[in-house]
Structure 1
């Protein structure tokens, strides 16, 4: 297995190990249930081997993950082009019950249209070919459907200038705003625009993922990728900051009205 392939499967392997330990299985015992050796289970957990679909189906049944493990496996197959630094964040996203995200520069990736995402990805990867670009676009835009299927609560706060910042062309931004409007009106997301005056944010983007009633994880974005933080004090500070942003931001309805004003003021082509 190549180094890139192994890196791609590490989050999945780590999840297998977590589930195995949580359910009291040794590698040998799990291997017997899968029809392989305990050593092979170790290879899967270390991402030096990849589980096949029948093995994943069996583990999904054993660990009672109700299809979630199968979806994780499928997503890992198609997310081979995703940069390594973001794979752990995606693994957390798969397990999140609630996601709260603040963005100061761009529409959050999880709700970007294909054209909006493609414009950003091409700018960031100027030497990638069309197939690589389209792989990244599919990986980014497919995340929302998985979240909708799982019923994950998604609450986004963005600086208000994000909604009017031209990306690619006026038409691309217009389509993006229409998509955002649909997602809000359909109840898929909650989104609030944060005015630039008295803004408690004005910081780098971050995401809070609540995995269960007792555990949350913080993902901090930066120019070169991102960092996962599980230190409770920092997570608590991030929740406090996000709450302050929610309080100062426009309501979801007022944000919709702002989007409509932006669309109305856009020069006709």
Structure 2
């Protein structure tokens, strides 16, 4: 399902939720208290700004006695095989964010990957995958990356660990191209890049971390490991994640020094290519 049609479907979800809620004479706050979210969240669901998780959709059906319509809609909308199930909602939100902060400890962030680099990562995790699955996953990642070319793109800030610069994902040539692409995106002011060097020692956070801010909704944090991811919006947890990111940023090299290190690492990879 294309992004536009998916958004239209979420808007239908929100419109129908408002209609069903008002039909039983329930306020947003009243419905929210029954399904264990705030009334403001119900308003965001109805405006299609925030997408409810499956368990919330099921509770809405129970409270409004809607015979499973919201569960069925939610299941259909989150069934996007281009992304892992745990990442689909985070992918939706990044297109709505005004600011995105990423920390990646091992690989180039998805929004900055080249097609060849993305393909190497997909093959590493799905070595027996069909050509169709690989092409779909790579196309989805490239579609996401177009967000940074959009006039309404979010402010995008990235910290990568120096490990990202040293692991030749896909081989030295593909890895060098990926680093050079990061440099181009930084030079075009599409991203503010920093590197957390080996010399920084232990880091404040060891997994993948993303923070997102929005104009009309609370900030969220997204954390990910190899096989799972969690979208977090509790204020205390998001505050803790932001503190970890601030510590990472304080330990990272300056943007200028970071670009110099990335350029040097790309040149090292190029030398490996020319010597083989």
Same fold by TM-score, threshold 0.5 exceeded? Answer: yes
CA distance in 1, matches of 2:10, 2:244: 30
- Residue in 1 that maps onto 2:73: 47
CA distance in 1, matches of 2:188, 2:237: 33
Q: Structure 2 length normalisation: TM-score?
A: 0.71
Shift of 1:17: 3.5
CA distance in 2, matches of 1:264, 1:91: 36
Q: Which runs of 5+ in 2 are unaligned?
A: 23-67
Matched, 1:254 2:249: no
Q: Equivalent of 1:169, from 156, 168, 171?
A: 171
RMSD: 3.1
Matched, 1:26 2:19: yes
Q: Equivalent of 2:246, from 243, 257, 260?
A: 243
- Shift in CA distance, 92/49, structure 1 to aligned 2, threshold 3 Å: closer
Shift of 1:244: 1.5
- Shift in CA distance, 226/11, structure 1 to aligned 2, threshold 3 Å: farther
Check whether the contact 1:43–1:49 (CA below 8 A) recurs between aligned residues: no
- Residue in 2 that maps onto 1:100: 101
Instruction: Give a deviation string over 1:190-214, Cα, whole Å, max 9, x none.
Output: 1100112334335111111112265
Check whether the contact 1:10–1:45 (CA below 8 A) recurs between aligned residues: no
Instruction: Give a deviation string over 1:39-84, Cα, whole Å, max 9, x none.
Output: xxx958842798xxxxxxxxxxxxxxxxxxxxxx9xx99x543222
Aligned partner of residue 218 in structure 1, secondary structure = strand
Q: Equivalent of 1:154, from 153, 156, 161?
A: 156
Q: Which runs of 5+ in 1 are unaligned?
A: 30-41, 51-72
CA distance in 1, matches of 2:103, 2:12: 30
Matched, 1:145 2:146: yes
- Residue in 2 that maps onto 1:230: 233
Aligned pair count reads 223
Shift of 1:177: 1.1
Q: Structure 1 length normalisation: TM-score?
A: 0.73
Aligned partner of residue 157 in structure 2, secondary structure = strand
CA distance in 2, matches of 1:87, 1:170: 31
Check whether the contact 2:101–2:210 (CA below 8 A) recurs between aligned residues: yes
CA distance in 2, matches of 1:234, 1:213: 19
Check whether the contact 2:110–2:145 (CA below 8 A) recurs between aligned residues: no
Check whether the contact 1:11–1:88 (CA below 8 A) recurs between aligned residues: no
